Amino acid sequence: MSIEKSLNKFDDYYHNFLLGIASVLLITPISSLAKPISSPATPETVPSKTADKAKKTLQNAVIVRKLDSEKVQRGKIVYQTNCANCHGQNGESKPGWRKKGPDGKYPPPPLNGDAHTWHHSTDTLTKTIREGSPPEIGNMPGWGNKLTDEEIDDVIVWITSIWPTEIYGIWYKEIERKSQEKKEHKLD
Ligand code: HEC
């Protein structure tokens, strides 16, 4: 190989080597620049979703309960007289209420917002209280022949009065109002 040829070859090699370095240098700042722009995309959307949710929850929570205080007082008495021995003094039930008892039936759940009582509209709760549990589910007696419609309504208002503000807000917006709207549509 002549010196000239090998110098050319060295040149080529060197040229490629320089190109290589140049591209690494070029790419590196781009990719390292690109990182802070593109990679936080995921974490950024997550907190903003959480923030949206938190905002929504707060909006739900600011619903002011315009409960009739006389109804609440009457409902409390109905509750303490008829319901507290099974559901707890303040609707808190007893530990272990999630598990079926030895008879295969569910124990009385809390009514204070811990369980899913707030997943039901006033209409559904009225029906449950009037008719009691389906025998295969639980041992809740029906109250339809022991309590008046007004007493049942009062006790439901008392129950909703003990729910945490946030739960009440979600119940009112997502369950109660929708159930009332459905009823109004049916009446139209
Ligand atoms: C003898 C015990 C007993 C008494 C007294 C009793 N309950 Fe219950 N209650 C139960 C049991 C057991 C259940 C669970 C089975 C079921 O969901 O049907 C239940 C369920 C309920 C539910 C449905 C809860 C849910 O999350 O869906 C409501 C509402 C309720 N009771 C309200 C009342 C009210 C109001 C009174 C008083 C007027 C009352 N209960 C008295 C035993 C009782």
The pLDDT tens digits for 31-83 are 444 444 444 455 455 567 777 777 766 665 567 888 999 999 999 999 999 99
Calculate how far, in angstroms, residue 140's C-alpha sits from the geometric centre of ligand 1.
5
Rg (CA), the chain: 33
d(Cα 126, Cα 56) in Å, to the nearest integer?
29
User: What is the reported pLDDT for 13?
Assistant: 47
Question: Measuring CA to CA, which residue among 74, 44, 81 is closest to residue 155?
Answer: 74
Calculate how far, in angstroms, residue 109's C-alpha sits from the geometric centre of ligand 1.
7
What does pTM read for this prediction?
A: 0.73
Mutate to test the pocket of ligand 1, among 90, 112, 140 (most ligand atoms within 8 A of CB): 140
Q: Which residues contact 112 (CB under 8 A, 6 or more apart)?
A: 88, 90, 91, 92, 159, 162, 163
Give residue-wise pLDDT tens across range 70-126.
999 999 999 999 999 999 999 999 999 999 999 999 999 999 999 999 999 999 999
Residue of 14 and 174 predicted with greater confidence: 174
Q: Is any atom of ligand 1 closer than 6 Å to the C-beta of 117?
A: yes
Q: Which residues contact 155 (CB under 8 A, 6 or more apart)?
A: 75, 78, 79, 82, 83, 129, 147
Residue 85 alpha carbon, nearest atom of ligand 1: 5
Calculate how far, in angstroms, residue 1's C-alpha sits from the geometric centre of ligand 1.
100
> Phi, psi (5° rounding) for residue 94?
-125, 155
Q: Is any atom of ligand 1 closer than 6 Å to the C-beta of 133?
A: yes
Which percentage of the chain shows pLDDT scores above 70? 71
User: What is the reported pLDDT for 166?
Assistant: 92
